[in-house]
Structure 1
């Protein structure tokens, strides 16, 4: 991933903010239905934003980490489910832009369909038995050869964007005596690919993170884009890991900021009869907003520090993981404070604060999870004495 600053994307900050406002008007309905907000994705396509991290030489905008964080953080204030689908698309194209092993034909196909048709891509990695690959283990999704042609069998859960995706980079293992592991590029519209509508979560309901099933899917040789010995995956590109970490941090920070903005409006509009003036005039609620803003100020500082250090090439992965942990926990805490302070209105499905709370809690399940981030940082501190 390009960590250095690059020109802003075609959309200005004001245009992104306007787009997020449209998303916010639709968010409650999609949360209730659990369907992907396809009209949001159409807005992103029409704005020319799907080429943000595609290299300029390939017709994209060549955006880097700072641009990803700006777009995802802004769109998440309107609808974090759309922002997550778009963010995963950005990260996959950042991988493709740097990939040395990908066949040129596969690379061109994914890039050209993104630019010409707005085709979306995401990595499909998690399995029922394996869980997340970040914790180790061979995937059960397997590549076999039948009459010399590769075929794919298996299933992937928590496949964000599933029904809206054209492409999936599927984490799979070969059935060779010494298995290779890695990415297989699959056109999700081809025969043998099906989707089980299994996503029915408390939060981030409209991500469409269903189960994708591969039943004897015949693949072209160019689909085997990056297969390696398992141990060769231990040293992943740090810039790509950083991209994922900061995209997730900025997304959930955006949710917390949307919750804050709604709370401010509520406190100004709510005038209890016994009080005769808005709740916003009470010192208790003024202190509350100060506490929330302090948490979000820390988030802003951490994200900016991470971006600056990434641009200088000096940001260790364990520190980035800690930043994700702190930013997302601050985001959760800030929404909890508002929820606890206003009582029943905060838990009503007629108000967005309840949805923001369910959504922001999902920050804890994204890699790296708290135990991994904290243990790694602790080990390094004890090993180095710093």
Structure 2
């Protein structure tokens, strides 16, 4: 299975994703053709159960896909990353119709996490549940077929066309410019009662954080590959290579912890996401310095990968939040309040 997906992914990267990566970034265009192609080869349904027609893959396989895509087109990789995190909730609690559509590659899901200060309320009514809230940014906003909207520890599966759900203006930022990460508001959006999972955050967040760490690893590997023949200071380059190798070990252990339900999985995922984001930005910054002005030219992918790393670093949960998670664990306090 892994070999088949690797070969198919390589073909789609070569034919569709890589040729469009620069334009996706420059124009801030959602990579719709790349996402469609990934669905056609079974990668949107990679994490779906075989019982509904999916690939039945574990986190290790989805992590390999995200890492490889991150080194080619960060925007496409981030869209797939949030889709896989949302799929974890849909697989555990979603209706067969949505699970089947994801498995067939016909349905793109995304994850709506909150930042400090974002409002959110799920109110039970006679007809079901009403969602009111706002999210500062949601990847694939206005593009996804459904949102897994996290509200406290709960998560609600919201149809992308639901009345009262509105995406903001197109994203025009520093990096990850094609991932459509824009604000979303929910104004009395009606959600079926059986579309709300009381502990949905527990399924989504560890997967999101672990894949976020792997995403940063993919960016870091790509930046090293871009500059391998351009750095004269071999010892410095070797040190950056060693740091990246250590991040890979950390990511592999984190993926195993989350996939295996280890007791330290959540704090490990938070630590790995933080380590990945910091490694990618710091290695990218050092490579730009070592390579000089030529490395900042848009003709090299290093500049784009570095901007993607900087943007991913400030996405929810931010570094301060992740340090808070790790600090609570260190003193024996609950990780999530």
Which residue pairs with 2:106 in the alignment? 118
Flag the structure with larger Rg: 1
Given the alignment of the two structures, is residue 194 of structure 1 paired with residue 166 of structure 2, yes or no? Answer: yes
Q: How many residues align?
A: 331
| In 2, Cα distance between equivalents of 1:260 and 1:117 | 33
Question: Which stretch has the larger CA shift, 198-207 or 367-376?
Answer: 367-376
Closer, same or farther in 2 for the Cα pair 1:211/1:345, shift >3 Å? same
How far did 1:259 drift? Answer: 1.4
Which residue pairs with 1:359 in the alignment? 308
Which residue pairs with 1:377 in the alignment? 326
Which residue pairs with 1:294 in the alignment? 242
Per the normalisation by structure 1, the TM-score is 0.76
Which runs of no fewer than 5 residues in structure 2 stay unpaired? none
The Cα RMSD (Å) is: 2.9
| In 1, Cα distance between equivalents of 2:323 and 2:191 | 40
| In 2, Cα distance between equivalents of 1:192 and 1:310 | 35
How far did 1:69 drift? Answer: 0.9
Closer, same or farther in 2 for the Cα pair 1:370/1:349, shift >3 Å? same
How far did 1:204 drift? Answer: 1.1
Q: Secondary structure at the match of 1:41?
A: helix
Which residue pairs with 2:143 in the alignment? 164
Which residue pairs with 2:117 in the alignment? 130
| In 2, Cα distance between equivalents of 1:31 and 1:206 | 6
Which residue pairs with 2:156 in the alignment? 184
Given the alignment of the two structures, is residue 264 of structure 1 paired with residue 231 of structure 2, yes or no? Answer: no
CA contact under 8 A between 2:48 and 2:91: conserved in structure 1?
yes
Deviation string 1:161-210 (CA, Å, 9 cap, x unpaired) is 1132111122458xxxxxxx733322212444332215222111111012
Alignment of 1:1-386 (within 5 A): 8=2, 10-12=4-6, 14-21=7-14, 22-99=16-93, 107-116=95-104, 118-126=106-114, 130-131=117-118, 139-141=119-121, 143=123, 145=125, 148=127, 150-172=129-151, 182-223=154-195, 225-226=196-197, 228=198, 237=202, 240-264=204-228, 267=230, 282=232, 284=233, 286-310=234-258, 313-314=261-262, 316=264, 317-382=266-331
Closer, same or farther in 2 for the Cα pair 1:171/1:296, shift >3 Å? closer
Per the normalisation by structure 2, the TM-score is 0.86
Question: Which stretch has the larger CA shift, 114-123 or 364-373?
Answer: 364-373
Q: Secondary structure at the match of 2:267?
A: helix
| In 2, Cα distance between equivalents of 1:308 and 1:17 | 25
Q: Secondary structure at the match of 1:170?
A: strand
